[in-house]
Amino acid sequence: MGWKEELKKRIEDIVDSQKDVAKKIASLIEEQYEELTKKAKEEKKELEEIVGEIVDIVTKKIKKEEQRMSMPLLGDKFPTLEVQTTHGKMVLPDDLRGKWTVLFSHPADFTPVCTTEFVSFQKHKKEFDEINTQLIGLSIDQVFSHIKWVEWIKEKLEVEIEFPIIAATDTIAAKIGMVHPGKGTNTVRAVFILDPEGVVRTILYYPQEIGRNISEIVRAVKALQKSDADGVATPANWPENELIKDRVIIPPATDCESAAKRTKEYECFDWWFCHKEA
C-alpha cells in the first residue's frame, strides 16, 4: 500500500463517517506533498509524523469552520430541511411562509422538564395563534416516540398537543446548532424565532436542566413584530419597563441636526434616549 492510500485510510479513520472532510484533507495534503517531504527532512521527522500533525490541524479547522458555517445566525435565512413530523412531512422554511414561527428543540421525549415545557407551549398556543405564530417542536427521537409521548400527555395530563414535532436526525440537529458537544448527544433547549420570510430573528439556548419561560418567548415575538411594524426598539421587560412602561424607543439620531430636534419632537431623557407611545 502506497503512502497516499495509507494517508487516505488514516484520514477516514480520524474523521470517521465524515467522508467529505476526509476528501478535503487528502486533497490538501496531496497538493503539498513536496513541501511536507521537505519539512520532514528539515525537522528530522518521519513523513508520517508530519502528515499526522497536518491532519490533526486541518481536521479541527475544517470541522470548526463547517459547524460555524452551517449554524444559522441572526439575520440568516433558515436552512432548507426536509423533515418528518407528527403532522406529516414538511419542508422548512418553505412550509412556514406567511407566519412567524417558534421552532424549539428538547433533549428527549418522556422526560420531566420537556413534558412541562410542551404542556406550557400548548397552554400558550392561543396567544401564539393571536399573533400569527406557529409552534414546531424537535428532538432526536423517532416519530413513533413523539406520537406515543403526545398520546401519554393527553391521557395522563389531559392536554392535547396540537402543534407538530419534528423527528430530527443527528445531521439535522447539528446543522441548525441544536447539538452542543459539551452537553452530550441530546439536543439542547434551543429556540429559533423566524419571521414570515423564514429569516432567523431570535436565537435562545437553555441547558438541559432548566426549563424555558414560554411567556418570554411570546413577549419576544410581540416585541419583534412591534419593532418591524413601527421601526422602533423595545425596552427591557417591554411592555412593563421600569422606566418608560409600555412606551417604545426611537432609533438614535444619525446626525447633529436630527439630534438637536429630537428633544422637541419626543419625550426624552436626552437626545439619544427618546421614547413615545407604542
Half-sphere exposure of 109 (CA within 13 A, CB side): 21
Q: Which residue has the higher pLDDT, 152 or 57?
A: 152
Is the pLDDT at 184 greater than 70, yes or no? no
Q: Stretch 29-54: mean pLDDT, rounded?
A: 66
Q: Stretch 81-109: mean pLDDT, rounded?
A: 95
Q: Stretch 35-62: mean pLDDT, rounded?
A: 66
Q: For residue 276, what pLDDT is reported?
A: 96
Confidence grade of residue 69 (pLDDT, cut at 50, 70, 90): very low
Q: For residue 167, what pLDDT is reported?
A: 95
**How many residues belong to the chain?**
278
Domain boundaries, the chain: 3-69, 81-212, 231-276
Q: For residue 169, what pLDDT is reported?
A: 86
Q: Stretch 32-44: mean pLDDT, rounded?
A: 68
Q: Which residue has the higher pLDDT, 260 or 187?
A: 260
Is the pLDDT at 176 greater than 60, yes or no? yes
The strands making up 88-92's β-sheet, listed across from edge to edge, are 88-92, 81-85, 165-167, 133-139, 100-105, 189-194, 200-206
Give the rounded distance of the alpha carbon of 272 from its chain centre.
Answer: 33
Is the pLDDT at 78 greater than 50, yes or no? yes
Q: Which residue has the cell 460555524?
A: 68
Is the pLDDT at 17 greater than 50, yes or no? no
Q: Which residue has the cell 496531496?
A: 30
Rounded distance between C-alpha atoms, residue 107 and residue 178, angstroms: 9
Rounded distance between C-alpha atoms, residue 39 and residue 46, angstroms: 10
% of the chain residues with pLDDT over 90: 63
**How many other β-carbons are positioned within 10 Å of the β-carbon of residue 144?**
10
- Written out in words, the top-level CATH class of the domain with range 231-276 is alpha beta
Q: Stretch 68-78: mean pLDDT, rounded?
A: 79
Q: Name which of 159, 166, 180 is nearest 116 in CA terms.
A: 159
Confidence grade of residue 60 (pLDDT, cut at 50, 70, 90): low
C-alpha cell belonging to residue 171? 445531521
Q: Stretch 110-125: mean pLDDT, rounded?
A: 98
Is the pLDDT at 132 greater than 50, yes or no? yes
Backbone angles phi, psi at 147, to 5 degrees: -60, -45
% of the chain residues with pLDDT over 70: 73
Return all residues near 210 (Cβ < 8 A) that are at least 6 apart: 113, 189
Q: For residue 208, what pLDDT is reported?
A: 86
Is the pLDDT at 19 greater than 70, yes or no? no
Cis peptide before 196 (omega within 30 of 0): no
**Burial of 127 per CB tally in 10 Å (0-12, 13-18, 19+):** middle
Q: Stretch 131-158: mean pLDDT, rounded?
A: 97
Rounded distance between C-alpha atoms, residue 112 and residue 108, angstroms: 10
Q: For residue 232, what pLDDT is reported?
A: 97
Q: Is the dihedral of CA 238, 135, 204, 153 positive or negative?
A: positive
Q: For residue 151, what pLDDT is reported?
A: 98
For the chain, the first-to-last Cα distance in angstroms comes to 73
pTM: 0.74
Alpha helix segments (H runs only) across 71-213: 112-123, 125-130, 143-157, 170-175
Is the pLDDT at 68 greater than 50, yes or no? no
Return all residues near 223 (Cβ < 8 A) that are at least 6 apart: 234, 238
List residues with catalytic annotation. 114
Considering the domain 81-212 in this protein, what is its CATH number? 3.40.30.10
What's the mean pLDDT when you consider all of the chain?
A: 85
Rounded distance between C-alpha atoms, residue 193 and residue 100, angstroms: 7
Is the pLDDT at 213 greater than 90, yes or no? yes
Confidence grade of residue 4 (pLDDT, cut at 50, 70, 90): low
